[in-house]
Structure 1
Amino acid sequence: MTFSLVARSDDGRLHGVVVASRFLAAGALVPAAEAEVGALATQAHVNLAYRAQGLALLRTGVAATDVVAGLVAADGERDRRQLGVVGGTGAGGTWTGPRCRPWAGGQAGDGWAAQGNILAGRHVIDAVRDGWLGGSPLPFADRLVAALRAGDEAGGDRRGRQSAGLLVVERGAGYGGTGDVLVDLRVDDHPDPVAELGRLLAVHTLLFGRPDPTTLLDLTGAVAAEVAALLTALGYSVDPAAPEDALVSWAGLENLEERLAPGRIDPIVLDRLRGATPHVPAPRPGSDAIPTT
């Protein structure tokens, strides 16, 4: 019913799972991951116990291939299961039971495992593999979705499309630095779920992505003046020389608080602020002009 990819980032800091299926809310059942421990996908005749059991084994240092072997050996329904596991180091592991509906199979390599059942053919997993291996320049979550998209475009689930999901974990990278879940997105019922998952990831990155320190602008001079004018036009009471308090208030309402930086402004936030107040003219080109992205 499903094809998926479990993977680890090249630096070992991120783990994730991406999945698509002609099955309602596959993202609610298939993925599990723990920061700096590993990730797994349970599918076909899903065994939800694999998630906690597999992560517990990975936590103790058991290799991904041995986790797969241990889980399926203890499962009387293993012939109907499909499983992919990746750990903190080493190769991924994958299992396809002989009673999984065709086409069914998987592949694994250093830091990844791809698997699927009821697929258009083995070329779907080839496409997921190639999408993953060829996507290294992309950010980790985007790389996962690109690999899933490659499988979807190769035919994916031979019954059609319905749902997709993405789970990415990294130590301390969750909202406000208070957790490890970096991305947790689901498309539960949609005619084009992989494309919708990509759209949601783009929105997630816009709202919750951390600012690039090399692009931040000092909230002084012409930048502060423009920000103050924009916020004033939106009805905020602003100190023209120090608009940061009003900026924080506005950004919180726009769900952009993760992009705030004390004494500076993310160009992405500035562009969003400009878009919210289109009637305020941009500064004229010149030595004090404020850059746009």
Structure 2
Amino acid sequence: MTFSIVARSADGVAHGVAVASKFLAAGAVVPAAEAGVGALATQSYANLAYRPQGLAMLRTGTLAADVVAGLTAADPGRAQRQLGVVGAAGDGATFTGTGCHAWAGGVTGDGYAIQGNILTGPEVVAAMEQAWLASDPAAPLAARLLTALRAGDAAGGDRRGRQSAAVYVVAPGQGYGGTSDVLVDLRVDDHPDPCAELARLLDVHTLLFGRPDPDTLLPLDGALADEVRELLAARGHTDSDLDAALAGWAGIENLEERMVPGHLDPLVLAHLRA
């Protein structure tokens, strides 16, 4: 009833899952991930116990293929299950039970597992794999996962239609304010075009919570400082300390993650000018 990709970033730091389905709130059921450990997707009459059990196995260094083998061997309902697992290193692993609704199957490779059931055909997972392999390894993992998910959606996706989509990514200390490992956790629970809506949400998330690129930061001095001070004053932020005034405005706009004292992120400047 679902198609998903479970993957690890090229540098091995991040792990995540992207999923879409003609099923209400698939993001509440399918994905699980733990920073520095791995990620998994449970679908097709999902066994939610796979999530804590699978992560516990990955935590001990168990290979993805052995996690899949262990979880399914102990499950009397395995014929109707589908599962994808990626660990901290090595190939991903996937499982499709013999009782899953056609078309059902999956593909794997170094650091990824792609699987789906009740699909229009094998072209869905093939398109996802091609998009994943063609994506920039240096790009954020959430963006790469979504690129693969949208490729599967464009190739036909769930043959019953569309309803929900989600992306979940973890990385050590890279969550909001550096106090969490959850880097991205976005869900579209009920929407006529959930993958497109998920892409819109990820763009907003990137603007608000993405870290500024040090190579693009602008020195907050001279004519730029004068312009910023004027723009902030028009919005009621008149602190004589320009960094303080900017931080006050940014906090209201939810852009605090992009603040760098003495400098300005071009994305923040564009938002301020708008």
TM-score by length of 1: 0.92
1:39 aligns to what SS in structure 2? strand
Question: How big is the shift at 1:226?
Answer: 1.1
Deviations 1:125-167 (A, max 9, x none): 1011111111125332111101000000000000000000000
SS of 2:261's equivalent in the other structure is: coil
Equivalence for 2:59:
59
8 Å contact kept, 1:33–1:40: yes
Please name the residue that 1:185 is paired with. 186
Q: Is residue 110 from structure 1 mapped to residue 110 from structure 2 by the alignment? A: yes
**TM-score between the two structures when normalised by the length of structure 2:** 0.98
What is the alpha-carbon distance in structure 1 between the residues aligned to residue 251 and residue 236 of structure 2?
15
Question: Does the CA-based 8 Å contact 1:228-1:238 persist in structure 2?
Answer: no
The 3-state SS of whatever aligns with 1:214 is: helix
Which position in structure 1 is the counterpart of 2:195?
194
**What's 2:245 paired with?**
246
SS at match of 1:100: coil
| Runs of 5+ unmatched residues, structure 1 | 276-293
Question: Which letter does structure 1 place at the counterpart of 2:236?
Answer: G
User: Could you say which residue in structure 2 is the equivalent of 1:171?
Assistant: 172
What is aligned with 1:71? 71
For residues 24-173 of structure 1, the aligned pairs below 5 Å read 24-137=24-137, 138-173=139-174
Q: Distance in 2 between matches of 1:235 and 1:10?
A: 44
Q: Which amino acid aligns with 2:229?
A: A
Is 1:257 aligned to residue 256 of structure 2? yes
1:220 CA drift (Å): 1.8
CA distance in 2, matches of 1:200, 1:236: 28
Q: Given the alignment of the two structures, is residue 203 of structure 1 paired with residue 204 of structure 2, yes or no?
A: yes
Q: SS of 2:270's equivalent?
A: helix
1:37-69 per-residue CA deviation (whole Å, 9 max, x = no partner) reads 100000001110100000000000000000000
For the residues of structure 2 that align with 1:191 and 1:75, how far apart are their CA atoms?
34
Quote how far apart the aligned CAs of 1:36 are. 1.1
Distance in 2 (alpha carbons) for counterparts of 1:163 and 1:126: 21
Match of 1:285 in 2: none
SS at match of 1:23: coil
In the TM superposition, residue 247 of structure 1 has moved relative to its aligned partner by: 0.7
Separation in 1, partners of 2:147, 2:179: 28
Matched with 2:15 is: 15
Offset at residue 236 of structure 1 (A): 2.1
Q: 1:83 offset after TM fit, Å?
A: 0.2
